């Protein structure tokens, strides 16, 4: 038997190896006519080799974890940095740091550009995810030439550290960045991921003058919001009876909250991925995926610790209380945190594929704070939101494809977003090859802005008022249970828990223990590296069309489907139980919330101080309606024709930038932004007076000057394609008002040429002859305006291709 077995083994090895003995193919066909034996042996050998390599990667993961956690300042940043400000030295010490990001060799930084600051999320994991790899938020900004800074943190908080202390630290860091760049008048652009997003918004509400444009990616601000059948995390507080569990976990940690518990909550959302899919993907692609897997695990396993006061504040006031999006938070020194005080443009980036921060929680704060878009405008705020279709929570600020597309466009267009008039906008990002006017495209994608109203916003927020009383009931019960815990249990637990015991409990956490057991500190792992080296030297992978490999993939898919079905059943049951329990009228009445008299989701009304400010602002604007120059006239006309927004996409902004340079070369972007907003509010305040004063603003200008202004407007309008019928009527009205400002002699010549143009149009049919004319008191001009040279004559509905042939202004000629 032994010689026969040896012969069979040698034969199978020849069939699956690189060598082939003469006649072996015929012999193999004789003993195994269907190839099943060869496929089985090849699959068995490949699976054994993959198993050895897989467990060796797990050993490397454990070693990496231990090495990472033993560092004083662990992070996963892919860029070199230097510490500028240590938060531990501030008047209110925190474990945060301000780092200057040093660019890679060959990357040029323009100190005249707006500084770019990324704030890392602190939700149980270690710092560095915002600069995890070259295609990241930091990488995009560095490629664009921006000076970049990073706000990270250390593994352990300072004693007594609070959320307010962290917010004040970030404000201090931004002030330092501003001081480092006296040559630019633009405030830093700030990016906040996940937890850092709502923290930044708190800081911007307290000190709005420190912040430039704000990008919050995957950041929850409205915690009660959500869609039925999705966002199961919002029910967690209710199903555990409130925040007493947070206090218990903190007391077990002797005043420190282990971030591994937060990571475990994230992992439970998708058990198929946590317990099988992620690991199987590594096992299935062990020859190529080891490096990527270890790189990510270095961050995912870098658990940090939060202060007990911090996490209790977060859970009570945000997760359960929902007080941030309703302006109910008040600082220890009496300042109200009202997000309506933010004066910087806010870009909200979220994804429909995110089950941690779904769009309702990322966008619901807008619905909580404002009655409608007019309310947003009255508070002088610009809010832009973008919804990705598929990417998950981490993909929003980690995915390379997202960084190359969305983050690149946001970064490149922040100066343009900064001049958008107040209002609500949604962005769409389309490939450049699908658009017209390609010479105005600076990158591979086009960023477009579309005005939105609250009806369209509600399609994303999906707010259900009947759920508010349920969540308000949870908040009341949470307060009761927390009080009972503090009265009966907390004193005993604090008296018995020691720092050593708390440290041992953290080390024994199942997630942490999994890393340590699979490392070189486990004697059973000693043979793994030797075996793995031997396998790598003589690897025998099988192809995907191997019969048994196909069965393996089918089994994996079946297991994933089963785990997903269990997850869906768990989530639907949890939601139903939550709705039934906290929807009980008796329970609501017991906590004093039954009846229509209670407002459970407070929408702040306009404060008396704000109303007085608005009235004073309106009076000041009325005085400015008839005062100004051609710059005000052109901008006012631009906003009027476009229906409130000066542009629909970045091509218009590029044209605006060129027009701004020609009209007044020395004007700063900040002054340009002020001009846009001021003219927007003037039109909003008194449109008739604003339009009738246009000839006064252009008084004294020559005929060529006025032709040049009209040409500038045509170029901007043409960038986004053909004007709508309504916009074309408005543009004709503007040209009529501009004609009134011409010198008398020139005006007569222009009218004469207009008459000739009308006669020609009457005998020669053209699209322009069908355009509507405005019902204004002034003489009705034709849609085509004729100047002395005749070169500026163009239809108001000219398409971008035709407009491109006349881009040269009189000055260019």
User: 647 with 720: CB under 8 angstroms?
Assistant: yes
pLDDT of residue 28: 59
Beta strand pairing status for 189-193 and 423-431? unpaired
pLDDT in tens, 607-638: 676 677 777 877 888 888 988 888 889 888 98
Asked if the model's pLDDT at residue 661 lies above 80, the reply is no
Asked if the model's pLDDT at residue 783 lies above 50, the reply is no
pLDDT of residue 411: 86
User: 138 with 107: CB under 8 angstroms?
Assistant: no
Asked if the model's pLDDT at residue 14 lies above 60, the reply is no
Mean pLDDT score across all residues of the chain = 83
Determine the Cα angle at 489 with ends 328 and 500, to 5°.
100
pLDDT of residue 43: 96
Distances in Å between the alpha carbon of 562 and those of 354, 380, 572? 21, 51, 15
Alpha helices in 70-162 (DSSP H): 137-143
Asked if the model's pLDDT at residue 640 lies above 60, the reply is yes
Asked if the model's pLDDT at residue 327 lies above 60, the reply is yes
Residues 6+ apart with CB under 8 A from 1: none
pLDDT in tens, 569-598: 999 999 999 999 999 999 999 998 887 655
pLDDT of residue 126: 82
Instruction: Taking residues 290-315, report their average pLDDT.
Output: 93
Asked if the model's pLDDT at residue 444 lies above 90, the reply is no
Asked if the model's pLDDT at residue 197 lies above 90, the reply is yes
Asked if the model's pLDDT at residue 169 lies above 80, the reply is yes
344 compared with 9, residue with greater pLDDT: 344
Percent of the chain scoring above 70 in pLDDT: 81
Nearest residue to 516 via CA among 61, 80, 171: 61
Asked if the model's pLDDT at residue 201 lies above 90, the reply is yes
In the chain, % helix, strand, coil (3-state, to 5) comes to 55, 10, 35
Q: Would you mind telling me the total number of residues written for the chain in this entry?
A: 813
pLDDT of residue 76: 86
pLDDT of residue 90: 97
pLDDT of residue 21: 52
Residue recorded with tokens 């939060």: 306
Q: How many CA atoms lie within 13 Å of 192's alpha carbon, on the beta-carbon side?
A: 28
Instruction: Taking residues 790-806, report their average pLDDT.
Output: 39
Instruction: Taking residues 58-87, report their average pLDDT.
Output: 92
**CATH class of the structural domain 80-224+322-463:** alpha beta
Lowest mean pLDDT among 110-114, 321-325, 718-722: 718-722
Residues 6+ apart with CB under 8 A from 511: 260, 263, 264, 267, 301, 303
Lowest mean pLDDT among 130-144, 395-409, 758-772: 758-772
Instruction: Taking residues 175-188, report their average pLDDT.
Output: 93
User: 340 with 327: CB under 8 angstroms?
Assistant: yes
83 compared with 13, residue with greater pLDDT: 83
Sign, CA torsion 583/585/590/596:
positive
The strand order across the sheet containing 80-86 reads 80-86, 96-102, 148-153, 116-119, 189-193, 214-217, 346-351, 382-388, 423-431, 445-451
Q: Which span out of 53-57, 118-122, 385-389, 628-632 was modeled with the highest average pLDDT?
A: 53-57
pLDDT of residue 380: 86
pLDDT of residue 775: 36
Q: How many CA atoms lie within 13 Å of 368's alpha carbon, on the beta-carbon side?
A: 26
Q: At what angle do helices 286-300 and 36-69 cross, to 10 degrees?
A: 30
pLDDT of residue 810: 37
Nearest residue to 732 via CA among 768, 795, 783: 783
Asked if the model's pLDDT at residue 17 lies above 50, the reply is no
pLDDT of residue 749: 58
Q: φ and ψ at 451, to 5 degrees?
A: -65, 140
- Which value, to the nearest 10 degrees, does the dihedral of the CA atoms of residues 130, 132, 137, 141 take? 120
pLDDT in tens, 209-247: 999 999 999 999 999 999 999 888 999 999 999 999 999
pLDDT band, residue 800 (cuts 50/70/90): very low
pLDDT band, residue 460 (cuts 50/70/90): very high
Q: Give the separation between CA 162 and CA 244, rounded to whole angstroms.
A: 18
Q: Which neighbouring-strand residues pair with 451? A: 425
pLDDT band, residue 599 (cuts 50/70/90): low
Q: φ and ψ at 617, to 5 degrees?
A: -65, -40
Asked if the model's pLDDT at residue 316 lies above 90, the reply is yes
212 compared with 446, residue with greater pLDDT: 212
pLDDT of residue 811: 37
Residue 448: alpha-carbon gap to chain centroid? 16
Sign, CA torsion 19/25/28/32:
positive
Terminal C-alpha separation, the chain: 98
Nearest residue to 344 via CA among 505, 216, 503, 159: 216
pLDDT of residue 146: 94
Beta strands in 214-295 (DSSP E): 214-217, 256-258
Alpha helices in 603-743 (DSSP H): 608-624, 630-641, 650-663, 669-685, 687-692, 694-697, 703-718, 725-740
Q: Give the separation between CA 727 and CA 435, rounded to whole angstroms.
A: 21
pLDDT of residue 53: 97
pLDDT band, residue 437 (cuts 50/70/90): low
Percent of the chain scoring above 90 in pLDDT: 54
User: 512 with 303: CB under 8 angstroms?
Assistant: yes
pLDDT of residue 722: 74
Asked if the model's pLDDT at residue 762 lies above 70, the reply is no
Q: DSSP class of residue 404? A: I
Residues 6+ apart with CB under 8 A from 72: 154
Distances in Å between the alpha carbon of 620 and those of 27, 255, 616? 98, 54, 6
Computed on alpha carbons and rounded to an integer, the radius of gyration of the chain in Å comes to: 32
Q: Give the separation between CA 176 and CA 84, rounded to whole angstroms.
A: 9
Q: Give the separation between CA 577 and CA 581, rounded to whole angstroms.
A: 6
* Domain coordinates in residue numbering, the chain: 80-224+322-463, 611-806
Asked if the model's pLDDT at residue 443 lies above 80, the reply is no
């Amino acid at each position: 038997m032994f010689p026969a077995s040896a012969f069979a083994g040698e034969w199978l090895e020849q069939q699956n190896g690189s060598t082939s003995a003469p006649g072996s193919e015929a012999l193999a066909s004789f003993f195994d006519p269907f190839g099943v034996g060869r496929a089985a042996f090849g699959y068995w050998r490949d699976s054994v080799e993959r198993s050895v390599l897989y467990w060796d990667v797990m050993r490397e993961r454990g070693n990496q974890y231990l090495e990472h956690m033993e560092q004083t300042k662990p992070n996963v940043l892919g860029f070199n940095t230097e510490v500028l400000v240590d938060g531990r030295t501030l008047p209110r010490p925190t474990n945060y740091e301000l780092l200057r990001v040093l660019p890679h060799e060959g990357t040029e930084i323009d100190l005249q550009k707006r500084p770019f600051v990324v704030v890392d999320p602190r939700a149980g994991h270690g710092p560095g995810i915002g600069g995890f790899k070259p295609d990241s938020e930091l990488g995009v900004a560095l490629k664009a030439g921006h000076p970049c800074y990073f706000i990270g943190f250390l593994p352990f908080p300072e004693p007594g550290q609070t959320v307010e202390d962290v917010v004040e630290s970030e404000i201090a860091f931004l002030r330092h960045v501003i001081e480092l760049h006296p040559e630019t008048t633009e405030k830093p652009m700030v990016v906040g991921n996940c937890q850092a997003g709502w923290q930044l918004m708190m800081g911007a509400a307290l000190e709005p003058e420190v912040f430039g444009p704000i990008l919050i990616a995957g950041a929850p601000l409205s915690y009660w919001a959500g869609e039925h059948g999705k966002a199961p995390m919002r029910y967690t507080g209710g199903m555990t009876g409130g925040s007493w569990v947070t206090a218990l976990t903190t007391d077990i940690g002797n005043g420190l909250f282990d971030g591994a518990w937060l990571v475990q909550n994230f992992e439970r959302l998708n058990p198929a991925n946590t317990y099988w899919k992620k690991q199987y993907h590594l096992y299935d692609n062990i020859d190529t995926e080891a490096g990527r897997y270890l790189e990510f695990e270095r961050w995912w396993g870098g658990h940090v610790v939060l202060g007990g006061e911090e996490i209790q504040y977060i859970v009570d006031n945000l997760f359960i209380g929902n007080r941030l999006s309703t302006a109910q938070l008040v600082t220890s020194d009496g300042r109200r945190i009202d997000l309506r005080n933010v004066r910087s443009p806010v870009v909200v980036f979220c994804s429909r594929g995110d089950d941690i921060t779904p769009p309702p929680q990322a966008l619901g704060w807008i619905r909580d704070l404002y009655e409608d878009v007019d309310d947003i405008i009255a508070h002088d705020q610009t809010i832009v939101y973008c919804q990705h279709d598929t990417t998950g929570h981490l993909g929003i600020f980690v995915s390379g494809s997202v960084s190359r597309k969305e983050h690149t466009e946001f970064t490149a267009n922040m100066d343009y977003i900064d001049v958008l008039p107040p209002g609500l906008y949604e962005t769409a990002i389309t490939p450049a090859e699908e658009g017209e006017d390609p010479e105005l495209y600076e990158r591979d994608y086009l960023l477009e802005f579309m005005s939105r109203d609250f009806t369209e916003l509600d399609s994303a927020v999906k707010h259900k008022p009947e759920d508010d009383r349920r969540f308000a009931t949870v908040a009341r019960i949470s307060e009761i249970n927390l009080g009972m815990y503090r009265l009966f249990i907390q004193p005993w637990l604090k008296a018995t828990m020691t720092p050593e015991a708390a440290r041992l409990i953290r080390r024994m956490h199942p997630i942490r223990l999994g890393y340590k057991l699979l490392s070189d500190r486990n004697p059973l792992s000693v043979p793994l590296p030797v075996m793995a080296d031997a396998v790598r030297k003589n690897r025998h992978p099988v192809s995907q069309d191997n019969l048994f490999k196909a069965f393996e993939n089918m089994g994996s898919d079946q297991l994933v489907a089963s785990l997903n079905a269990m997850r869906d059943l768990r989530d639907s049951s949890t939601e139903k139980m939550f709705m039934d329990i906290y929807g009980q009228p008796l329970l609501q009445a017991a906590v004093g919330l039954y009846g229509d008299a209670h407002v459970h989701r407070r929408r702040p009304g306009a404060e008396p101080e704000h109303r007085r400010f608005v009235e004073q602002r309106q009076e000041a604007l009325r005085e400015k309606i008839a005062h100004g120059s051609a710059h005000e006239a052109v901008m006012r006309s631009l906003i009027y024709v476009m229906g409130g927004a000066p542009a629909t996409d970045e091509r218009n902004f590029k044209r605006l930038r060129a027009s701004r340079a020609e009209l007044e070369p020395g004007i700063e972007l900040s002054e340009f932004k002020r001009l846009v907003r001021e003219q927007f509010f003037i039109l909003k305040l008194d449109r008739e007076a604003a339009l009738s004063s246009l000839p006064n603003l252009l008084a004294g200008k020559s005929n060529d000057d006025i032709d040049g202004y009209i040409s500038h407007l045509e170029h901007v309008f043409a960038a986004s394609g053909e004007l709508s019928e309504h916009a074309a009527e408005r543009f004709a009205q503007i040209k009529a008002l501009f004609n009134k400002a011409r010198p008398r002699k020139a005006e007569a010549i222009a009218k004469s040429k207009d008459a000739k143009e009308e006669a020609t149009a009457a005998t020669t049919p053209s699209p322009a002859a069908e355009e509507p004319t405005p019902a204004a008191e002034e003489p009705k001009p034709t849609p085509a305006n004729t100047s002395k040279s005749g070169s500026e004559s163009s239809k108001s509905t000219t398409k971008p291709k035709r407009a491109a042939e006349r881009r040269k202004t009189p000055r260019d000629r």
